[in-house]
Structure 1
């Protein structure tokens, strides 16, 4: 119930445009792990070949949505994931971030990217090509799920649009959470996985203590 109430408050605040950039408490982007739940979700994902990139453009996933005077979802994530945040109005101009992908500590916002756990191009190949632009916008700005993270620019560019069979974080201690978050996002948005992708996720989750516990 607490999570539902927080989500409702956040939705209401966003709907009002966060007038004056009111500070809103956002849900923890990395909730407590539930091994049984995520393995069940993985089993429920549809396995099929990756689709075509025909017609793809990042513009088909409108982001970042505004959340007040000159503020947007990117600012929201930077504030949520950082420490000692410095603002100019609602824009984040300073702070400290630890990138979960590679463990780098960053103090310059220009070195920080907000990464989509499931990249937009991967989502397109996994079924988002059939959505409306409005729904793709909902996906691209989703801060309710563990989908948007402030990470180092170098790690984000290295990841690109690759799935876990092609790219994994240099920080191996994050692999369990990475696989869990990937499955959570794909399951919620009813996106598909390919054979290699599912095998990689199965392998990653199989190496997690909680995932191997009956």
Structure 2
């Protein structure tokens, strides 16, 4: 039985059976253990500064194409369990995975360990501490580091729908961040937008470049120069 099927089966025990308290605790522990088996980051991602510089030098350099045909729906309408960082599935939708990975002081659901009940985000873009509570208004959003529109212009317009859906749900591409800052970033490329916290420029450029290399996306000349500048802030 795969991880997704196993998690669904264990969660069903919690939702559908009249189990005793001890049985529920055992089932929850089993589901949590299944989640723990699924890594939330690819090995070697984000790449080191040295690797990112090598990757950047190899990226295709060209101006964006087909920008006028971009639609959010081209990458799927909703979060899914389409892929995790190592290409498998764990039974949770992608947004839950991002929250479980990026929040501290994490509290997970009693019935469904996929659900994050509460936690705190140290926003990498602004440095702010942002609280999260399930089903309450939040200042936290899930950002595609290389935005979907930017990926479309850089080559994703030629992908299959399946590859675009996988990209939109790839944990390597995603970060939990401050909502207002994410609105300001929108689909801007690295030459048009940089994190307000300059100390994050190094990791941002490493992530951004790693995503471009992983998916074979191109960069524009100004975008490449901006990434080179940000990688220049990395410690020697």
Measured against the shorter chain, the TM-score band is 0.7 to 0.9
Cα distance in 2 for partners of 1:82, 1:181 equals: 18
In structure 1, stretches of 5+ residues that fail to align are 1-11
Cα distance in 1 for partners of 2:50, 2:226 equals: 17
Cα distance in 2 for partners of 1:160, 1:177 equals: 19
Map of 1:106-121 to 2, 5 A cutoff?
106-109=130-133, 110-121=138-149
Q: Say if 2:77 is the partner of 1:65.
A: no
Question: Displacement of 1:168 after TM fit?
Answer: 0.5
Write out per-residue CA displacement over residues 92-142 of structure 1, whole angstroms, 9 at most, x where no aligned residue. Answer: 232111110101111135211111111000000000000111100111111
Cα distance in 2 for partners of 1:179, 1:18 equals: 35
Map of 1:2-151 to 2, 5 A cutoff?
13-14=3-4, 16=5, 18-19=7-8, 20=11, 22-24=34-36, 25-28=38-41, 31=45, 34-62=48-76, 63-66=78-81, 71-88=92-109, 89=112, 90-109=114-133, 110-143=138-171, 145=172, 147-151=173-177
For 1:187, the equivalent position in structure 2 comes to 213
In structure 2, stretches of 5+ residues that fail to align are 12-30, 82-88
For 1:9, the equivalent position in structure 2 comes to none
TM-score, normalised to structure 1, is 0.82
Cα distance in 1 for partners of 2:166, 2:102 equals: 20
Cα distance in 1 for partners of 2:107, 2:39 equals: 18
Q: 1:183 to 1:193 in 2, by over 3 A?
A: same
For 1:5, the equivalent position in structure 2 comes to none
- Determine helix, strand or coil for the equivalent of 1:107: strand
Cα distance in 2 for partners of 1:141, 1:33 equals: 19
Q: CA RMSD in A?
A: 2.2
Question: Displacement of 1:32 after TM fit?
Answer: 7.0
- Determine helix, strand or coil for the equivalent of 2:183: helix
Does the 8 Å CA contact 2:94/2:169 hold for their aligned counterparts? yes
Does the 8 Å CA contact 2:147/2:186 hold for their aligned counterparts? yes
- Bigger Rg over Cα: 2
Alignment: residue pair count: 195
